[in-house]
Structure 1
Amino acid sequence: MSQKIKKRNINPTRKMDLVLRTARKLFLEKGFHAVSIPDIVKASGVSVGAIYLHFGNKEKLATAVYQQASKEFLDRLFQKFDERPLQTCCAREILADIAELIFEITEDDPEMMEYLLSIRQGYYPGALSFYNTAVFHRLEKIIDNGIASGELRPGNHSLCAAAYCGVILQAVELRLNGQLEQPLCEMAEQIFENAWASIKAA
């Protein structure tokens, strides 16, 4: 008696997640324009038809890659914000928590952090400038509260937020490119104090 061959069912969600993560890795390594759908097919093992059926084209796939990476980052960051409501904490405490979380993500998932930083330097369909993201707008609110309370020096909240982020993100970039051998979490206090010094009240 012949037996029917059981087809292997692959979870479609897991399959598309594999495509997104593979595409993100290739975009980061080669740049968006240098990566083709066949490259992603070869690296992921997912068929051309499945990729086009789900995403439509490379531009829409790139937008989905950005959205996934941003969501993962924002979910962790806004959880930290929720733990430290703006109304009950000083700006220093919240900003220190944010820096610590960014350092944790850099160490836990350097590829994602490197991808998010790379958006500032290249073209990715659907990607927002960092200064137009929910993260930066929330930082502006924290800065506003800090200025109002006298913790931070008076000034434009966007410039202050950019100054703070500059110190934090430069440390991340140094770690990602190998110029800092020590994990960022071990240097968090020193880096934060440098960032804080750039915006605190005299």
Structure 2
Amino acid sequence: MISFRNTAIGLAFLALHACFVSTEPLLPSGQGARIADGPVEICGEGGEDCHAAAFDDDTYIVYPPPDAEDEAPLRLRFLDLADSDLGQVWLGEVELRAPDDDESIWYYGVAHPMPENTGGVTRFEMVQPDCMDATLRQAARYGIEPLDSHTCSISDIASLAAYLVEAHGEDFNDPDWWRDPD
């Protein structure tokens, strides 16, 4: 069983929404994009709870704080999703790994650059759109399978991307939606 304690090292966007999940990574290896030149911080909903993310190969890594050395790092990969009035929107794949074994689960959310650049660091606000907002038609068309009242299984990154653009393309332009995507 995966310990979800490592969500505490950042990305509160996973905590309270109906999440898109997969038991295997959907973004092919080597296809994760660098989302900015220079240092990056990944922030939760509302631009809070920001954590430095180091880029390695095609993956951003958020390391746990020193007092949580038993925690596994968060691994994030991004795919170019859409343009918006607020900047480029990225589809993010977040791997949560159990610290004591190789078991992982992948969560999916969207991110955009925040307007303020602090000391040369580009901050990205990352949120989890509510998978339960999908209509029955959208769920069937895009392969969104509700697992319970808080989780939906997905099996194809292109279908998820198409759904997110259809369902939230206009929302991506609205700063209020990023603060509260419900």
The two structures have a TM-score, normalised by structure 2, of 0.22
Q: Which has the higher strand share?
A: 2
Q: Which has the larger radius of gyration?
A: 1
The two structures have a TM-score, normalised by structure 1, of 0.21
Q: Which has the higher helix share?
A: 1
Higher relative contact order (CA 8 A, sep 6+): 2
